Structure 1
Amino acid sequence: MERIWLKHYPEGVPADIDVSVYPSLVALLEESFRKHAALPAYRFMGKSFSYAQVDELSRAFAAYLQASGLQPGDRVAVMMPNVPQYPVVVAGILRAGMVVVNVNPLYTPRELEHQLKDAGTKSIVIMENFAATLQAAQAHAKVVDHVVLTAMGDMLGWIKGAVVNHVVRRVKKMVPEFQLADAVRFNDAIAQGRGAVFKPVTVRPDDIAVLQYTGGTTGVSKGAVLLHRNLVANVLQSEAWYRPAIDRVAAEGQVVTICALPLYHIFGFNTNMMLGLRMGGCGILIPNPRDLAGTLKTLSTERFHSFPAVNTLFHALAHHPDFDKVDWSHLKMSVGGGMAVQQATAKLWLEKTGCPICEGYGLSETSPVVSCNPTTSTAYSGTIGLPVPNTELRLIDDEGHEVPAGQAGEIAVRGPQVMAGYWQRPDETARVMTADGFFRTGDVGMVDERGYFRIVDRKKDMILVSGFNVYPNEVEDVITQMPGIMECAAVGVPDEKAGEVVKVVIVKKDPAVTEADVRHWCEANLTGYKRPKLVEFRNDLPKTPVGKVLRRELRDRPATPAR
């Protein structure tokens, strides 16, 4: 496909950039540590951490890993929420030439055991809140040789840290009992590292930086192999795309980003941590964005410019009674990703903040950013925007051929941010990579005459009603625009006559909304075969920690009706 989108790039955004500026993420990080040493890199619970501090602490942690006998290329798992230990540990792992294995802290013992075994991890750095999960994962056999334990307040100083840890452990009772006899405490590891000699490692572009495991909502979770050059490229691509907004912030000084996205998720990892450090920005760490009142309380004390998030978080915050206690006037970038941004959410967010949500698109396998709406946008477009620099997109059929203009096809991506493959799964890699280097995303999309892409839906989520394709995103978008509806999800369920029919699961904002109201709304806004045959109300929807709705659970698990 011709890169027709280049004609519609914002002024100042180049078609291609030099993605080989840094040989590795390590080189990028070390330059940032030097250039911005005096600036705050992160703020957490009211305490700031400078670039110089992150530099010194991560160097000490790298020395500790080396002194522990780990070698370049060894995999080190990281299982913690957004706390300042996370960037310190990740930078230390990379500086030691080792591989970061990001782990979702909400994993079950079975999921954790699978990932640690699959990645062949030698070590894990884990928040004590989740240590009982690790203990259970090792009930039958040891899955990791070396454990570093950290606590919420470990970097907050002796007095404040002790208070925070006491509250987390004893008052809120967020740390289940566990026994990990040989574990080393994070602050002890740092102290040992300071007493050791760090031996710098040469890290090359084709060395593995991160094993980023896909969500596993369908089948077994797989590790996307992200090389240093993949992640460096995507940081630079994203920086080039965001440049118009970054320049608008420059007058106010340092770019401040709200880090509510989990840093262990690829969106938060590269957009918040790596791009933030590259720009010399400051990240406000939010350990639990589901605590909406706590999140808004933190935001009310900050002046911030950038807020990357998922639709569910934008939606929940905008509906919270404390929303107006926050000063949103400095916000220049609201970037939506991870899932489709719904029109009703985008409309409300713009009304309440004056900053439109720029929807983007990406995957773990693409480091993650593939496309994004221009940061010069003034309104919601309903698309995933234009491919970022150095990126090609095409729409293909099941045989890999480009589909005719105007037709829907599977989105395929080629660019320097595309992964090297799935960890130790050549068969799975072959399934998703075309002979000419395009990655098959599994998302069905369309493109307009300007080169703006729109996702119709996931191939696996498409509902086939009497031979007609129904895309859940469309049904959900229509229903969430109905007054009195908080959120909803659409899935296909088996039907003897039609093969499948549409079922919607709805969370109400107004208790008075009835099934009849929903059906009347759908009759006015959806053609017959797209209208739900089954309507169910619940108190909430099952979601991943990032906020993606788990449609499989809606199909497979019995309902818990709304009370």
Structure 2
Amino acid sequence: MDLPRDSTTFGPPLETVAELIGGPRIDDLLRRAARRAPHHPSLVADGLVLDHAALDARVSDCAEALRAAFGGPGTVIAIAAELTVDFAVTFLGISRSGNTSAMFNPLVPDDTLVHVLNACGARAAVLSPRMHHRILALRSRLPLLDRLVVTADAGDGTPVLAGLGRTAVPPGEEVETACLQFTSGTTGAPKTVRLSHRNLLVNAAQSAHAHRLTADSVALDNLPSFHLMHLDTALAVGATLVLCPEEDRAALVELARDRRATHLYSLPVRLSRLAGDERLPGFRVPSLRAVLSGGSALPPRTTTALQEHFGVPVVQGYGLAETSPSTHFDLPEGPTVGSSGPPVAGTACRITDVRTGEVLPVGERGEIQVRGPQLMLGYLGDGPAGAEAPADADGWFRTGDVGRIDGSGRLFVVDRIKDVFKCDNWLVSPTEIERVLMRHPAVADCVVFDRPDELSGAVAVALVVPRGDGVDPAALTGFANTRLPYYEHLAELRLVDGIPRSATGKVQRRELRDRMFGPL
């Protein structure tokens, strides 16, 4: 087969998913679902089952309460992305009230929480009692945040959402920025991303199509916090979304079986624990059609183990906060291990040289650049409007990630640009070395980063969490180095009890490196 000359590849036309978009606001997806199938289950959590009509009624009531409490249009209202019904109702209610939501991760440390709340300029917040008490402890560091409402009685007299007055929302109101989200901050302070209603609507349709969701799908969301994509994609097709924040694998499988889940969404770290659970042979979910992963690379042995056990495709995608978030997803009909798949509908991708920006041929590593209608409006707080365009003149956005595209148009994500390094002028990916180490049965977890070297510039070192006692670091080093090119060889390997990770399984490589060897 003749391969294309360069790596540029395109997803199917946007018209493929046009009927799923709806609009003009993201909450209109719920209006449409309630109109088409009012009694179809929409949201399930903790034994509560809300059909589309009941959820829609809650959202309208919430919108009127928010309008009474905070006014509008365009008020920035902060909400913690906790995996609860209250979050879904509040997010959609903010949209319907004509205001802008600022979604923050409830699991971030205090300093990051203070940074994102100040950066987004939120003067109001709707919080669970637990999150409310945490915010109160930080109140002296949040000078802008002066209006708080709680979803249930917090015991301190703070107004409760249900007890607020109600103000009708003028029809047809729409604001440019539907939602503010925050980058993960793995390579610096989180940035505030401005997403429009159009961004969210288009990506809901793109993702629902890529995931093969239909109205009869039951999507089980097993994450530590709420990922907006899962709510939006379910609403786009009128599917059922089941919330399951529990880490207990037996409880997860039981819920998936009881609710007849067709799609299981989780994180690589949780799926790896499921794949390694000694009880896995007894875990059965007959209704399951696919296991879907995102957030970081899924280890190949996890993919293989779960595919063989459940007899369904285990598929991963790729995206960023700046792209609402999805740009790629592998084909459920025939996924390729390690691939994030082709672009979603209406999306283009190419690989460019990290120094020159030249578009690279198929198969070569470079920076991933994407283009599509899901690309953000821009970052908040970068100076005057238009001072920093979110993309170049042709619409290409630099992701800051390194990857390659194969001859069939599938994307393989290699690493973050700020995590890769050069050894003897060869580009080295810590993630690829980690994948080799994880193939050894004695490795439970690992992380690789660079160490300065006088002759080669930098060399690879690894921290490894052993599986059991008596693991020989030299043997592990030899296992990896015989399977890697010389410039990716490990110069050092240390055994450790654990590796610090975020709630989503991400590692701050630069912090670990600086802790071991000092800042570069």
What is the TM-score when the length of structure 1 is the normalising length?
Answer: 0.84
- Aligned residue for 2:238, secondary structure, equals coil
Kindly provide the amino acid, as one letter, of the partner of residue 72 in structure 2. Q
Q: Is the 8 A contact 2:250 2:283 kept in 1?
A: no
Structure 1 partner of 2:509: 551
Distance 2:68 2:465 in 1: 52
Distance change >3 Å, CA 120–CA 523, structure 1 → 2:
closer
What whole-Å deviation, never above 9, does each CA across 1:468-511 have from its counterpart, x for those lacking one? 21101210111111112222221112233332221112222233
Q: 2:255 pairs with 298, 314, 329, which one?
A: 298
Distance 1:429 1:442 in 2: 20
- Aligned residue for 1:557, secondary structure, equals helix
Q: 1:261 pairs with 213, 223, 228, which one?
A: 223
Q: Is 2:487 the partner of 1:515?
A: no
Q: 1:199 pairs with 141, 144, 169, which one?
A: 169
Distance 1:322 1:315 in 2: 13
Distance change >3 Å, CA 215–CA 108, structure 1 → 2:
same
Distance 1:58 1:502 in 2: 52
Distance 2:483 2:15 in 1: 39
Shift of 1:558: 5.5
- Equivalent positions of 1:10-21 (< 5 A) are 16-18=16-18, 21=22
The more displaced of 49-58 and 547-556 is 547-556
What whole-Å deviation, never above 9, does each CA across 1:341-378 have from its counterpart, x for those lacking one? 2211111111221112112111110011111111111x
Aligned length, in residue pairs: 509
Q: Is 2:204 the partner of 1:235?
A: yes
Q: Is the 8 A contact 1:26 1:203 kept in 2?
A: no
Q: Is the 8 A contact 2:30 2:52 kept in 1?
A: no
Name structure 1 gaps, 5 residues minimum: 155-178
Q: Is the 8 A contact 2:257 2:286 kept in 1?
A: no
Shift of 1:516: 2.0
What whole-Å deviation, never above 9, does each CA across 1:250-272 have from its counterpart, x for those lacking one? 7xxx31111113554xxx211x1
Q: Is the 8 A contact 1:370 1:387 kept in 2?
A: yes
What whole-Å deviation, never above 9, does each CA across 1:414-456 have from its counterpart, x for those lacking one? 1000011111215997376222111100111212222122122
Q: Is the 8 A contact 2:117 2:142 kept in 1?
A: no
Q: Is 2:234 the partner of 1:276?
A: yes
Shift of 1:302: 3.0
Structure 2 partner of 1:388: 344
Shift of 1:14: 7.4
Q: Is 2:457 the partner of 1:476?
A: no
- Aligned residue for 1:71, secondary structure, equals coil
Name structure 2 gaps, 5 residues minimum: 1-5
Distance 2:293 2:91 in 1: 25
Shift of 1:36: 2.7
Q: Is the 8 A contact 2:118 2:142 kept in 1?
A: no
Structure 2 partner of 1:190: 162
Distance change >3 Å, CA 528–CA 429, structure 1 → 2:
farther
What is the TM-score when the length of structure 2 is the normalising length?
Answer: 0.90
Structure 1 partner of 2:180: 211
Distance 1:388 1:140 in 2: 41
Distance 1:69 1:404 in 2: 53
Shift of 1:340: 1.0
Q: Is 2:10 the partner of 1:38?
A: no
Distance 1:127 1:492 in 2: 42
Distance change >3 Å, CA 127–CA 295, structure 1 → 2:
farther
Q: Is 2:297 the partner of 1:335?
A: no
Structure 2 partner of 1:526: 484
The more displaced of 531-540 and 79-88 is 531-540
Structure 1 partner of 2:105: 104
Distance 1:109 1:420 in 2: 28
Q: Is the 8 A contact 2:63 2:94 kept in 1?
A: yes
Residue identity (%): 29
- Aligned residue for 2:401, secondary structure, equals strand
- Aligned residue for 1:430, secondary structure, equals coil
Structure 1 partner of 2:78: 77
Distance 1:34 1:134 in 2: 38
Q: Is the 8 A contact 2:7 2:360 kept in 1?
A: no
Distance change >3 Å, CA 104–CA 443, structure 1 → 2:
same
What whole-Å deviation, never above 9, does each CA across 1:105-151 have from its counterpart, x for those lacking one? 12333222221111111211222223343123212554312212246
Structure 2 partner of 1:160: none
- Aligned residue for 2:364, secondary structure, equals coil
- Equivalent positions of 1:407-556 (< 5 A) are 407-426=364-383, 430=388, 433-556=391-514
Structure 1 partner of 2:315: 358
Q: CA RMSD in A?
A: 2.6
- Aligned residue for 2:258, secondary structure, equals coil
Distance change >3 Å, CA 146–CA 33, structure 1 → 2:
farther
Kindly provide the amino acid, as one letter, of the partner of residue 66 in structure 1. R
Structure 1 partner of 2:194: 225
Distance change >3 Å, CA 56–CA 325, structure 1 → 2:
farther
Distance 2:267 2:119 in 1: 29
Distance 2:151 2:497 in 1: 34
Shift of 1:396: 1.8
Q: Is the 8 A contact 2:7 2:359 kept in 1?
A: no
Distance 2:151 2:516 in 1: 38
